[in-house]
Amino acid sequence: MSNFGKIYESSWFGVGVCDNTIGWGSSYKSIANCSDASFSYSADSYAQDGSNPTPTITGDAGGTFSATPSGLSINSSTGEITLSTSSVNSYTVKYELSDGTFTEQTIGITAASYSNVNSFTFDGVDEYISADLDGTGTGSSVFGLGADLEFTLSFWFYRKSSSVAIGLFQWANTLSSGGPFLIVQQNLDNLRIFFDGGYRSGTQVTAQDNWYHVAVTRTASDNTLRGYLNGSEWFSYDDSGTPNLQNVATQIYFGNGYNGYFNGLIDEGAIWNSALSSTAITEIYNSGAPNDLNNLSNAGDPLVWYRMGEEATFSNPGGTGNWTLTNQGTSSNNALSYNMEEADKTTTTPS
């Protein structure tokens, strides 16, 4: 046997394929003649908002990178991973040479770390944001009907004026509805809630040029509407289980109510089709720093969540256009701005 004394490795498992040095059909190969597909990434896990990683190839160049399952955006030549377009999952990255030699590494992609860096400013003249949201409790609506209705509304606002009866938010069937289902309204220096045909909250004083978090819930078990300001309950109202204007709750509007347009900033607008607990509202308020609504300990993910700047695209950069706000909640309905400008996306946020 002419190759007696050489060192051999088994390639039964396809990991090291080399020139066969034994003539009797053995799968033992000479390590001295083996190809080397060694590579490595600097970490085993990366967040979607991180810097794109490229592996170090310590073996032979010229191989091809691939990954399973699908969902990882990887350059087949360099192995660079585009994190922002990769799906959250665990992947097996494979580097394979032309002779079949390959090496694998497991790489995890995690969700982008939460940060709040943008809000939208509204001019108080004609700017607003709107989205379809069927709260009627009939047909394809995912909300309960009548006494079974539950919802939670949550958003942050910063007012720049002390105008009379200006809507920050409304749930209605038209922009200028005379009979909306729900309005969160600024009236001079006061905040108040209009629900199902009347003002139900009394008033809560808010200061100009300050951020506030407001939440409104309706619970089916006791037919009660509740309002929260900065994490604390400020009113409750028993509607007797007969919300008569629910049939007009087909569209949501930020920056407008029946009487006029809001002058100020709005951030992190979200709605659930359930009534969140006071503990969950406190967690959302988070001592004045917006929390990640898709990772709450005391609540499920919202049905709609508009980040008001993050995850928003302008249709005509540098010109006249509209913002599309990609819904970060569990439904697919995005929101659209009207009469707003590219510069309305600001870096002023609650903190």
CB-based contact 304:87 (threshold 8 Å): no
- Spacing of C-alpha 180 from chain mean position: 28
**Domains, the chain, with CATH or none:** 39-110 (2.60.40), 119-346 (2.60.120.200)
End-to-end CA distance of the chain: 77
CA distance 217 to 269: 14
DSSP labels for 322-341? -EEE---SSS---EEEES--
Q: What pairing do the DSSP bridges indicate for beta strands 128-132 and 151-159?
A: unpaired
User: Which residues, listed in sequence order, are joined to residue 232 by a DSSP beta bridge?
Assistant: 229
Query: In Å, what is the CA distance from 303 to each residue of 116, 141, 333?
Result: 19, 12, 9
Instruction: State whether residue 139 is helix, strand or coil.
Output: coil
CB proximity list for 319: less than 8 A, separation 6 or greater? none
Would you give per-residue pLDDT tens digits along the chain (351 residues)? 344 433 444 444 444 445 433 333 433 434 444 799 999 999 999 998 899 999 999 999 999 999 999 999 999 999 999 998 998 899 999 999 999 999 999 999 987 778 899 999 999 999 999 999 999 999 999 999 999 999 999 999 999 998 888 999 999 999 887 889 999 999 999 999 999 999 999 889 999 999 999 999 999 999 999 999 999 999 999 999 999 999 999 999 999 987 789 999 999 999 999 999 999 999 999 999 999 999 899 999 999 999 999 999 999 998 889 999 999 999 999 999 999 999 999 999 998
Would you give the DSSP letter of residue 278?
A: H
Vertex 182 angle, CA 181 and 188, to 5°: 135
CB proximity list for 315: less than 8 A, separation 6 or greater? 321, 322, 323, 324
